[in-house]
Chains A and B, each alone.
Chain A
Amino acid sequence: MSELQIVDLHVNVNDREILKGVNLTVRQGEVHALMGPNGTGKSTLAYTLMGHPNYEVTQGEVWFKGQNILELEADQRAHLGLFLAFQYPVAIPGVSVANFLRAAINARRKIENPEDKGIPIPEFRKQLKKVMDSLRMDHTFASRYLNDGFSGGEKKRAEVLQMAMLRPEIAIMDETDSGLDIDALRIVAEGVNTLRGPDLGVLVITHYQRILNYIKPDFVHIMLDGRIVESGGADLALHLEEHGYDWLKNKAEVMVR
């Protein structure tokens, strides 16, 4: 059973401290929700965990499978089983969804076995169709250029498609609900739910409680000003929905003092 253990993580962006000591552990099989208003560092945490070069870690460690992954490149983190569903997926013109996915799958196979010749194409196609069906995606989607001209809903579905194909052990979903109408949200959430199980740990980052109606979290954490100020069960999200963040702000200030 692997776990992602974040210990006292401090991160600067453009020389400004955004994360001020984050502690959080996500285990395989658990779904955690990380909530908080805009600008509190949630996305910074997501990008830092995946290894984006613009985020400078000044203190702390992130342990996964016995390694401090902060020392690894993004592709090596992915090989360990970490996945980030982007808030703003990036378009790669000229590269089809299918080609891209095959390159990603083959890269990992090659790490596991340097002699590997790559996934046989019929097997890949079969797998891809199955996953697309479960996400109610048209099969022509596979031949479109990755995120190029995709609608907001298509982009998010493509993220879940990648997650389903790459089978991570820990997935971070950064504002996967933003910009989705209720139908698209339901489809994306269903997709995540079908992947849920003892082998997958999920960190759902959101500032709305809405997505948590569809993806039921085991744990809810609230982030304010670069720290996790409150943790609890699913009911914490409901409490937040009712009372907002204000009651926590005092608490955050107390913590700073």
Chain B
Amino acid sequence: MATPVIVTKKRREAEVDLNRFPFTENDLPGLGRQENLPEFLREYRLRGWNLFQTIPMPSTNDEAWRRTDLRGLRASELTLRAEVPKRGLRPPRNLLKPLVGKRHGGQIILVPTQNPTIAVNEEWRQQGIVFTDFRTAQVQHPDFLANSIGQIVRPEEGKFAALATAFAEDGVIVYIPRGVRLKEPLHSVVWSPGIRLARFTRLLVWVDDDAELTLVHEVASPNQSEGQSFHAGIVEIHVGKGAHLTFVEMQSWGNDVWNFTHERARVERDGTLDWIFGSVGSQLTKTFMEIDLVGEGATGKMSGFYFTNGNQHLDHDTQQNHFAPHTTSDLLFKGALQDRSRSVWQGMIYVAPGAQKTDGYQANRNLTLSPQARADSIPGLEIMADDVRCTHGATVGKIDEEQLFYLLSRGIPRNEAIRLIVEGFFEPIMERVPYGGVRQRFRTAIKQKIG
């Protein structure tokens, strides 16, 4: 629709310029003549690049982006190679500690401009287990990559999916062969210092039939007071027939990061996925997280924890897709908000025609700790089958003054009382997380955010 107000149009143009990414086709990684990028990857990156150019920047006119405004993103100032002071390259020690159990079975640490640190049990390699970074996998496992990459999250899904398709060189690739039940958890850490850095990552997890895995994946960066940084990521997960994956994903980006991810898990017949998600960092986040239950008897569980403060804006868009009969999904996302921060949760349970006897549940609970904080909670059901059980709930509440007075009257100081109430609020999430290390991490986040 044309607008007759010329001034408005001018303003928009200025914003668009600031909003425009400075990258060109020449920046695409691995496409130079001397580089021997596998052909499928060359095509894949170019496809991503072309889509990126044709898909417009999301605006608040798009339903999925209605509550998340990108006009403040200064994309034009971003760089692909940021100088990082040497001492900033080391991830903080608490990121490297095991969150699940006492020790890792394997660990990958990815830091910009550095070779990846990969520690993995030699026996596992002989069993056919792959746990490596994306670049190494291009050399060592090109056939596996050719058959799996981009199958679950397609570059067409959005501007940032396309961008990550084109640019992501950093990443973690996991393959657990059929029937292999890995008892020790794997741990991958993406640490991302660098002012105005645009970082692109991907995670591909393929758990073959009857296999079992626990994976802890952390993305983090330091708080940087100068400029904006950026991350676009793709997470693709395949849980095979009768397989089981516990996926613990922790997002603690620095307060300068604008973070965009497309994440999807596909669960085959009788497979189970337990997805635990903690989101406390970034300036702005928009995350699409989906579970596709594609085989009969598949189960997907999602437990989300978020806590915002300052002027953070976190937008989690979840989708539970029941494509087959007798599938079960169970989602609980809980968030607390401080200061002027904002959260959006938009959830959908979709039941495909013929997906009878499915059981879907979704609930989102928010606790606002300041009158300026705002949480939007939008549940949704789209049910095309007639014999299903789907329930949902969404609430936004604030700290009850009577609860506060009760705790104060017992000599508990105000801040401590608020912390207790908030911890109590998150307890239903804690109960779903069987790992003391993860729970402790959440508690630490609560403590830090309340201050």
Q: Which residue of B lies closest to A76 (CB)?
A: B411
- Taken together as a complex, chains A and B put the C-alpha atoms of A111 and B408 apart, in Å, by 14
**Interface size of B in residues (CB-CB distance below 8 Å):** 24
Q: Which residue of B lies closest to A168 (CB)?
A: B411
Which label, helix, strand, loop or mixed, suits the secondary structure of the B interface? helix
Verify if A95 is at the interface (C-beta below 8 Å from B): yes
**Smallest Cβ distance from B95 to chain A, in angstroms?**
27
For B425, list chain A residues within 8 Å (CB).
Answer: 93-94
For A79, list chain B residues within 8 Å (CB).
Answer: 411
- Taken together as a complex, chains A and B put the C-alpha atoms of A95 and B399 apart, in Å, by 14
**Smallest Cβ distance from B307 to chain A, in angstroms?**
15
Q: Which residue of A lies closest to B429 (CB)?
A: A94
For B426, list chain A residues within 8 Å (CB).
Answer: 94
- Determine whether the beta carbon of A53 is less than 8 Å from that of B401: yes
**Smallest Cβ distance from A12 to chain B, in angstroms?**
18
- Determine whether the beta carbon of B424 is less than 8 Å from that of A145: yes
- Taken together as a complex, chains A and B put the C-alpha atoms of A33 and B248 apart, in Å, by 57
- Determine whether the beta carbon of A95 is less than 8 Å from that of B414: no
- Determine whether the beta carbon of A90 is less than 8 Å from that of B406: yes
- Determine whether the beta carbon of B424 is less than 8 Å from that of A103: no
For A94, list chain B residues within 8 Å (CB).
Answer: 423-428
Verify if B410 is at the interface (C-beta below 8 Å from A): yes
- Taken together as a complex, chains A and B put the C-alpha atoms of A53 and B405 apart, in Å, by 8
Q: Would you list which residues of chain A between 75 and 116 have a CB under 8 Å from chain B?
A: 75, 77-79, 83-84, 86, 89-95, 99-100, 103-104, 107-108, 111
- Determine whether the beta carbon of B403 is less than 8 Å from that of A108: no
> Residue-by-residue, is B410-444 near A (CB-CB < 8 Å gives 1, otherwise 0)?
11111011001101111110000000000000000
- Taken together as a complex, chains A and B put the C-alpha atoms of A90 and B406 apart, in Å, by 7
Known: A90-B402, A107-B416. A73 touches B408 (CB 8 A): yes
For A108, list chain B residues within 8 Å (CB).
Answer: 411
- Determine whether the beta carbon of B409 is less than 8 Å from that of A50: yes
User: Which residue in B408, B413, B420 is a CB contact (below 8 Å) of A100?
Assistant: B420
Known: A92-B420, A95-B424. A104 touches B406 (CB 8 A): no
Verify if A57 is at the interface (C-beta below 8 Å from B): no
**Smallest Cβ distance from A65 to chain B, in angstroms?**
15
- Determine whether the beta carbon of B412 is less than 8 Å from that of A103: yes
- Taken together as a complex, chains A and B put the C-alpha atoms of A89 and B402 apart, in Å, by 9
**Smallest Cβ distance from A163 to chain B, in angstroms?**
10
Q: Would you list which residues of chain B between 372 and 407 have a CB under 8 Å from chain A?
A: 400-403, 405-407
Q: Which residue of B lies closest to A82 (CB)?
A: B409
- Determine whether the beta carbon of A103 is less than 8 Å from that of B409: no
Specify which of A53, A86, A100, A166 lies most central, judged by the most chain B CB atoms within 10 Å of its CB: A100
**Smallest Cβ distance from B401 to chain A, in angstroms?**
7
Verify if A212 is at the interface (C-beta below 8 Å from B): no
For B414, list chain A residues within 8 Å (CB).
Answer: 73, 75
For B413, list chain A residues within 8 Å (CB).
Answer: 75, 107
Q: Which residue of B lies closest to A90 (CB)?
A: B406
For B405, list chain A residues within 8 Å (CB).
Answer: 50, 52-53, 74, 90
For A104, list chain B residues within 8 Å (CB).
Answer: 407, 410-412
Known: A53-B401, A75-B414, A107-B416. A92 touches B406 (CB 8 A): yes
User: Which residue in A50, A74, A92 is a CB contact (below 8 Å) of B424?
Assistant: A92
- Taken together as a complex, chains A and B put the C-alpha atoms of A78 and B401 apart, in Å, by 17
**Smallest Cβ distance from A109 to chain B, in angstroms?**
10
For A44, list chain B residues within 8 Å (CB).
Answer: none
Q: Which residue of A lies closest to B430 (CB)?
A: A94
Q: Which residue of B lies closest to A84 (CB)?
A: B409
For B427, list chain A residues within 8 Å (CB).
Answer: 93-95, 145
Known: A53-B401, A90-B402, A94-B428. A78 touches B423 (CB 8 A): no
For B423, list chain A residues within 8 Å (CB).
Answer: 94-95
Q: Would you list which residues of chain B between 75 and 126 have a CB under 8 Å from chain A?
A: none
- Determine whether the beta carbon of A78 is less than 8 Å from that of B421: no
For A99, list chain B residues within 8 Å (CB).
Answer: 420
- Taken together as a complex, chains A and B put the C-alpha atoms of A50 and B405 apart, in Å, by 9
For A95, list chain B residues within 8 Å (CB).
Answer: 420-421, 423-424, 427
For A92, list chain B residues within 8 Å (CB).
Answer: 403, 406-407, 420-421, 424
For B417, list chain A residues within 8 Å (CB).
Answer: 75
Q: Which residue of A lies closest to B426 (CB)?
A: A94
- Taken together as a complex, chains A and B put the C-alpha atoms of A50 and B416 apart, in Å, by 18
For A52, list chain B residues within 8 Å (CB).
Answer: 405
- Taken together as a complex, chains A and B put the C-alpha atoms of A79 and B428 apart, in Å, by 32
For A111, list chain B residues within 8 Å (CB).
Answer: 411
- Taken together as a complex, chains A and B put the C-alpha atoms of A163 and B421 apart, in Å, by 21
- Determine whether the beta carbon of B411 is less than 8 Å from that of A166: yes
Q: Would you list which residues of chain A between 108 and 147 have a CB under 8 Å from chain B?
A: 108, 111, 145
- Taken together as a complex, chains A and B put the C-alpha atoms of A94 and B425 apart, in Å, by 6
- Taken together as a complex, chains A and B put the C-alpha atoms of A25 and B416 apart, in Å, by 32
Known: A94-B424, A94-B426, A100-B420. A89 touches B406 (CB 8 A): yes
6 A-B residue pairings within 8 Å (CB atoms)? A75-B413, A75-B414, A90-B400, A92-B403, A94-B428, A104-B407
List of 3 A-B pairs having minimum Cβ-Cβ separation, nearest first = A94-B424, A94-B427, A78-B411
Interfacial residues, chain B to chain A (CB-CB below 8 A) = 400-403, 405-414, 416-417, 420-421, 423-428
15 additional A-B residue pairs with CB within 8 Å, beyond A90-B405, A94-B423, A94-B428: A74-B405, A75-B409, A92-B407, A93-B425, A93-B427, A94-B425, A95-B421, A99-B420, A100-B420, A103-B407, A103-B412, A103-B416, A107-B416, A108-B411, A162-B410
